[in-house]
Amino acid sequence: MEGVGTFTSNPRFLVGDAEYEMIAMYRRCDMGMAGRVWPDGKAYLDQPNILIEAFATIATALHDFDPKRDA
């Protein structure tokens, strides 16, 4: 793959059960245009930074790979 390199195996297999659980948690908490409900029910500032970063990464990936985004 140009600019990325050669894959010896499918990178999809690097995503394990923990990552799929985090994506499922993101989907349960995401309310679209209405914002987000945090998993523990507390405010944004009460959340661990790693959770906020993970949710931001998931949101970006879902947006970038949404087939309906350009429609």
Domain residue spans of the chain: 22-64
Q: 23-53 burial, b if ≥16 CB within 10 A, otherwise e? A: beebeeeeeeeeeeeeeeeeeeeeeeeebee
Average pLDDT (57-64) is 91
| pTM exceeds cut of 0.85 | no
- Please name which of 27, 46, 45 lies closest in space to residue 36, comparing C-alpha atoms: 27
Q: In angstroms, rounded to a whole number, what is the distance separating the alpha carbons of residues 65 and 68? A: 9
Percent of the chain at pLDDT above 70?
A: 96
Which tokens is 6 given? 């050669």
- Count CA within 13 A, CB hemisphere, residue 19: 7
Calculate what percentage of the chain has a pLDDT beyond 90: 55
